Amino acid sequence: MTGERKAAEYEELENRYEERRKIRKKQRERERLFRVRLARGMLCLCMVVVCVGTVVLASDLMVKNKEKASEGNRGKGAVRAGVILPEDEERRTAEVKRPLVDLPEMGALYKIHVQGKGWSHYFADNSYGMAPAGGYITAVQATLHNQPEGMSGTIEYKVNLSGSGWLDWQSNAHEAGGVEGEMPLEAVCIRLTGELAEYYDVLYSVLQNNVWTDWVKNGEEAGQSGVGLRVDGLRMSVARRQEGGISYAGEIDPLKPMVALTYDDGPSKESTRRILKTLEENGGKATFFMVGSRAAKFQETVRQMVAQGCEVANHTYDHTLMTKVDPAELERQLELTNQVVANAGGVTPVLMRPCGGATNDAGMGVAGAISMPAILWSIDTLDWKTRDADATVSAVLDHVKDGDIILMHDLYETAAQASEVIIPELIRRGYQLVTVSELASYRGGMTPGQSYYKFRP
């Protein structure tokens, strides 16, 4: 009995142990499940907190942005007053607002089709696209240079073609007008679209009845349609919109004094680059009247001029005096130089400078026939003769006035040395350093076959 009792007790102990083991196992499983559920709950709670915080922060930023935009633009013409935007467009507009100081410079590139001659090369922003003297424009193309990455929109343009009226809007270098027929343009409208239209303006003017019209912008009509006048020239410029909704072609303030520095006979290997560097460091521009044979040799320098917004201009191919060659040879030299510069820099010269300042009627007739004004000067530094930097500096700083065209030569090291003094000093005195075309654009403009030596207010 004793052995049987012990066996029974042992079996009972085994059963109790097994039962407790099962209980502990269930407890551990419940604890594990509890910890998993707790962790999941904490994770969900954190996600909820983050999402709520993000929404609150975004809402707060949107409100602040709207308040700033409203305060900054109140009375400044930069917002579409009285227009209620859809909620999604209003939110998008608030999100893409960029400070003006962060916007890059952007420019228009455009061509004209001239009756009897065909398409021109591209013209640079705020330069002159003109038909030859007596000619007229039948079509235009336009595109944009240096459009900000990620900013939507493009440039659109439409024309009033004589006998057809207003044609459809075109964009991205597509033809607007008629290249097959003989009918001239009578008026032009140009605008920007998308986000570009919120931060930039496009300004433009046409040559009509031998007079440049006032600047208009953003879809307004330039020129008079239906009165029998044709468009003989076009200029356009894309400019960043400033505080108060104001913008100027070339971003030049017409109320401030301005002068045009010009350099002849280059490019050169060293001096031209030094001058370009000084201009870039001081935010200035200049016009380079280049000899075509040298432009062909220093194509990278030509590209640098264009990249900095300087004006590339024509000084014949071999530095040939207008009065020493027949008209056909002068035309060949000017056309060849235009082609060389356009191939190197992507834009064509619109101005020529007679070598030595010598002109005659036959030569000026050639300039007019290829759509070019002749540019002389109001200050001659004689740097080619003195080769003295101090004398060049004095020639400029002792005589400069608003509207002057200043003549130097970038073949010489002394011209670069003088420019390193002249450029920052002119800016310190309050002058804007602009190209000849920019100077002319606010002082009456230019027409082919005419000569100019200054542009006073």
Quick check: 184 and 138 in contact, CB under 8 A?
yes
- Ranges under pLDDT 50 in the chain: 1-3, 5-7, 9-10, 13-14, 16-17, 20-21, 24, 36, 48-50, 52, 54-58, 61-97
pLDDT for 87: 46
pLDDT for 180: 86
pLDDT for 19: 54
Q: Is 320 exposed, middle or buried (0-12, 13-18, 19+ CB in 10 A)?
A: buried
Q: Give 330's contacts (C-beta < 8 A, 6+ positions apart).
A: 316, 320, 322, 363, 366
> Catalytic site residues?
264, 409
Q: Which two tokens stand for residue 435?
A: 């190209």
* Cβ atoms within 10 Å, residue 163: 10
pLDDT for 186: 98
pLDDT for 1: 44
pLDDT for 30: 56
CA–CA distance, 77 with 241 (Å, rounded to integer): 11
Q: Give 8's contacts (C-beta < 8 A, 6+ positions apart).
A: none
Task: State the residue for tokens 């006979």.
Answer: 265
Q: Which two tokens stand for residue 445?
A: 């403009």
How, if at all, do strands 405-409 and 258-264 pair? parallel
**pTM > 0.75: yes or no:** yes
